[in-house]
Amino acid sequence: MIRWLRSFLFTNVKALQAYHLMRQGAALLIAVLLTKTGLDTGRIGTYEMLLYLGGLVSSFWIQGLVQALLSEYPRLPGPEQRQFVVNAYGLFLFLGLLIGCGMILAKPIVLPLLSGQAQLDYYELFFIYVAINFPAFLLENLFLLWQRPQQNFLFGMLSSLPMVIAVIAPPFLGFDFAYSFYGLIALAALRHLYLLYHVWQNGLWEFRLDLLLRWARIAFPLILYALLGGLNQSFDSWLVGQYYDGNETQFAIFRYGARELPLVMALAAALGTAMVPRVADQLDIALGEIRSKSLKLFHFLFPLSIGLMLTSQWLFPLVFNTDFEESVAIFNVFLLVIISRLIFSRTVLVGLQDNRIVLFISLIELVTNVLLSWWLIRAMGLIGVAWGTLLSISLEKIMLCLRLYWRFGIGWRQYTDLRWWWLYSVLLVVAFAIQFPATG
């Protein structure tokens, strides 16, 4: 019985999904609890703006390098895999320090440029946290490659709950919000040490420039893709900050609404990440697995999204507070993103290392988002930015599916159960139409 439970609960995919779910859940829980601490909306907006800045300058490095790592590592012989681990840690350590120090030293230039503000509280503390925490993003992916799902699950548990406590406890106890950032720095240091322990145990400490250059060659288009994707997401926040002249309250209202359902982000991202090395190794089997595993996500996430769509008008102010009632309409538009998010064409293309076209399509998505959002924010206000994002993401997914079919002859039926996808998509759109008069 115990062996069966382990095999059911601790597969690589499910453990990584659980890890992403716990991380996304922690972020959502922090967002909810911050509204209950007595912090004003402007102060919450400061925290959200710091998260936006940190993601803008770091997430594209992480996503691009990690996806290249996952597609290249299975192709290496054992000794080179161990060398790869050490060299990957060294590169992530260097990048984390470069980003943290660069953002602090260049604050007078980058802060007004990226946020529309001359000053932002806790800025230096936050980027010290970013510098220390950056390498730790390697660990869940190393556990995936090392076939250690139980450790991935445990790592998620030991990372997520302490993060919530670190951020929420100080304002709840009446301390200055700065102590939340001290707590994040301490937690990042512990995560970093845990990563270093595993690198020491499993790595081979030899510098290999040829491995780094090969990794960089594979990663470069993926880094640019992730950069464009990050700019796509961050452009919305930047546009709101610029259009509303650095108004932290409007920024917070937009950021609280502009959230895809965390379960979708966590489970879809984890499935896509976990299947990249599988596609690289056994394509035919991987396509069938993506189809069956994504169908399970359909049955869980689409009904949940439909339920939230129909009840968000009442739930949103209850979960957060009445200051965020304007966020409901934005949130409902972002719920529609699930329709394209649960199609895994990009996962297959990355596993096949067709990375340049992925980059080109992302550039088209970014240009589309910029043009639509600039136009729609003037016509519709904050919700116009949400519509621009939804339309550009949908266009990207269509182009990825077409590329996969034209270049490799892989139709979306091979990795997507279209009957259920169409049914759930129509039902979600109907639910949106029902709610739109009350929220739009």
As a whole number, mean pLDDT of residues 33-39 equals: 77
d(CA 11, CA 18): 10
As a whole number, mean pLDDT of residues 163-169 equals: 88
d(CA 370, CA 388): 8
Q: Tens digit of pLDDT for each residue in 346-358?
A: 888 877 877 778 7
As a whole number, mean pLDDT of residues 142-170 equals: 82
According to the model, what pLDDT value does residue 262 have?
A: 63
Give the Å distances, CA to CA, from 33 to 12, 38, 170, 318, 319.
Answer: 31, 10, 12, 12, 9
Q: Tens digit of pLDDT for each residue in 232-250?
A: 666 676 677 666 665 556 6
According to the model, what pLDDT value does residue 324 have?
A: 63
Per-residue confidence at 193, pLDDT binned at 50, 70, 90?
A: very high
Q: Categorise residue 246: left if φ over 0, alpha if ψ from -120 to 50, beta otherwise.
A: left
Residue ranges per structural domain of the chain: 10-439
User: Which residue matches tokens 């716990």?
Assistant: 22
Per-residue confidence at 5, pLDDT binned at 50, 70, 90?
A: very low
Whether residue 133 contacts residue 191, with contact meaning beta carbons closer than 8 Å, is answered with: yes
According to the model, what pLDDT value does residue 128 have?
A: 94
pTM, two decimals, is 0.68
Whether residue 252 contacts residue 50, with contact meaning beta carbons closer than 8 Å, is answered with: no
Q: Tens digit of pLDDT for each residue in 308-337?
A: 888 877 777 666 656 666 777 888 888 898
- 238-241: list long-range contacts, CB under 8 Å, 24+ apart: 238/114, 238/115, 238/116, 239/373, 239/374, 239/377, 239/385, 240/377, 240/382, 240/385, 241/49, 241/115, 241/116, 241/117
Min mean pLDDT across 70-79, 336-345, 402-411 is at 70-79
As a whole number, mean pLDDT of residues 340-344 equals: 88
Q: Which of 33-47, 57-71, 293-307 has the highest mean pLDDT?
A: 293-307
User: Which residue matches tokens 């920024």?
Assistant: 251
Whether residue 336 contacts residue 262, with contact meaning beta carbons closer than 8 Å, is answered with: no
Average pLDDT taken over every residue of the chain:
80
pLDDT at 437 over 60: no
433: Cβ contacts below 8 Å, ≥ 6 apart? none
